[in-house]
Chains A and B, each alone.
Chain A
Amino acid sequence: MVISKKKFALLMVVIMVMATVFGCGSADLQSSGGDTLRIGWNSEPDTLNPLTAYSSESMQVTYLIYEPLISYDTDLEFVYKLAKSFEYSNDERSITYHLQEDAFWQDGEPFTSADVAYTYSLIKDEELGEAAQFLEYLDSIDTPDDYTVTFNYSEAQAFNCAPVIPILPEHIWGEMTADDIEIFSNDNPIGTGPYKFVEWSQGATITIERNDDYYGEAPGADRIIYILYGNEDILIQALKSGQVDIIPEVTPTLWESLEGVENIEAVSLDSFSFHQIGINVDTRGNSGGNPMLLDKEVRKALNYVADREKITEIVLAGHGEPGSVLIPDGLKEWQYQLSDDERMDGDIEKAKAILEAAGYKDTDGDGIREKDGKKMEFRIMASEGSAVDVRAAQIFRDSAKEAGIKLTLTSMDENTMGDLIYDAEHPDWDLYVWGWDSEYPDPSYLLGIPLTSQIGMNNELYYSNPRYDELYSRQSRETDENARNVIVKEMQKMFYEDGGYIILWYQDKLQAYRTDTWTGWEPCPGGLIYGVTYENYLRVQPVE
């Protein structure tokens, strides 16, 4: 007895010693000094190479270090960065930029037009990264002097792609081949921007600090730290307990839980993204999709089956707009407004009538329509990682059943689904739920998805419509905004009527920040940060 008590006492001592060792030390830690903006995210960047990185986290960091010639402010108007001004030639095929003369690379080298010419030619010649698609018609680049650069295009360009092309230092990147650049993780990025890279502690934080030699106006935060959290719930707790200042991505349910919390402002902003049900409309002959879906009347009926308002309300808790055409309402005047006659939405009776008229009838009374002996049975896939997509697919499946269409839902991981959908040789699927995000406040990117030339790339419907393709190239050359607007709207109407996409919703960008640490966040479509503008990083000031 006595001994076991001793043993127990010994254990207690061990526990207490451990507790003391662990418990002390960090309570009196000094803060880093100055004002630090802390951003919480739950996904880590892939690399800091602005050409090949594909995560939005990476862009957030690299665009504060590397600058484009021009960028977007919070009203989505152009704001000058490495360019002081620009003008178009009379035939609108050439753009001349006049560059900042007092900009320097963060290693002390001067920035010149040669760096600009190098970056643009590298992207175009080697097809490096996302921006390559915008330089297809770039013919030549002239650099008459160190601070002037002229881009000559073979066709006028409606979309000015300069904001998405970060300028790289030729003296550092110039010696690398395209292969080198593909595997270049860029651990020590050197740019011209308002922030300098400090440290990337893998799996934990990325730190950048103010570049005191920056030619432009000095930003408010001495340093910005991006902190990685394992999941969304913890991220919300970190915001509530004051360990981060802003969360750029909040799920609808968690967003609701932040409403009315002291010192926290939860914002809901328009975005340039949508989620859709895609329909396999491949007519090239090797599709594994159900041929019934090639009947436009069937696609029309499916469009009527989807009750977008109900789906948005249930799935997104109302944090989104019910979907319609290819261009989200974040792109404001570019969006085509459907008339009541044109709208195909949430009307099961109408869907039934269309199917009856087209000869799809339930003759054997099992609740499923058939035509020519074939039942109306389709497969539908959704990504299991996306709860909203799975839920939307379930609601859609149940509505379809009412109209006499049987859908079999399979959820799988996104990568597996992508592999099935994008198998251009033999696309063996019928319907799927997925989404598209655009980081450009311009309709080109989203309008470009269903192009015939994108089959094998982004055109996952295998949609092909020569008339649509022709309108696309016309709008991309049309520099008169009003004339372009007319074409862009015609394309949306055309694609909507063809019914390849059932656009379910345009989700809101939900974000939340603390009001007692930083002030001056300016709402912007696409997001305060993590959207198209980087101005909020520069604008915010510490709360006194």
Chain B
Amino acid sequence: MRSAHATELSSSSRINRHMGFSWKTYLKRYWTLYLLLLLPVAFFIIFRYTPMTYILLAFKKNNILLPPWKVEWVKNNGFDWFIKAFKDRGFQTSLRNTIFLNLLDLIIGMPMPILMAILLNELAFPKYKRITQTVLYLPHFLSWVIISSITLRLFATNDGIINKLLGTQIPFVGTEGNWRATYIFLGIWKECGWNTIIYLAALTAISPELYEAAEVDGAGRWRKIWHVTLPGIRPTIVVLLIMNLGHILGSEFDRPFTLSNKLVEGASKTISIFVYERGVMGQQYALSTAVGLFQSVVCVIFLLLSNSLAKKFGERGIW
């Protein structure tokens, strides 16, 4: 990819040198490219940048009849909604839940695809490996609505098939602790197979000679995994770790929303659900815009921080 860049740069400079640069010939040649860009750029301006003007609402009175720049500022230098949010019980709970669930996902969920990729890599039968991969990718293509509707049946306390098989009456989704465990488990179930793709790709880049050399040195399966496979995918692990750390305050909506039930609201309400309930349903637009802004800003800061941290430790990072 680098080389493609380079040749293109040189070819373009060649054109410039020979013909000299004039806007007329340039536009005559390339105006169609701008035509192609017209609709996508319009999309980004309308649906991604225009909403940013509504961010002002986070610092203003809750009035959506006027355009946001005409609305009065709120007190506390405009930060009143943020202060109110942090004093709000509901927001405190959802902030705590978001961080807690994301941390669990990071600590328990992130190593799983790595282990599974190593396992698949050690699988000695190529055809069987292909089939395994196809099957493991399946859950990724199910929506959370589907998964929650299946879960409700399988994990039900009284008549769920799992409790029946175990001969127990465990409320898998009925208490807050159990619900968290189920939430994490289902997240792993859905995305673990899919997330192996990227590790497997990194694994194919490891030279087979390294394995051969290790074998000559008398390394067994475990030593090869430890000394060849794991170092080979370390950069990939770091990049994904950065991305995940960046999203520590980000929150999915579908997953907690569809899996939640009345009994476990104290554990399942995340920031995204808070914003939905207060903003979309409760029409407290200014408050929920403030919460959303807080979330976006923290996400960016975390991404920058973890990226520079990775670079400090001598890894490549994502930029």
A in complex with B? no
Residues of chain A having any CB pair with chain B under 8 Å = none
Residues of B within 8 A of A (CB): none
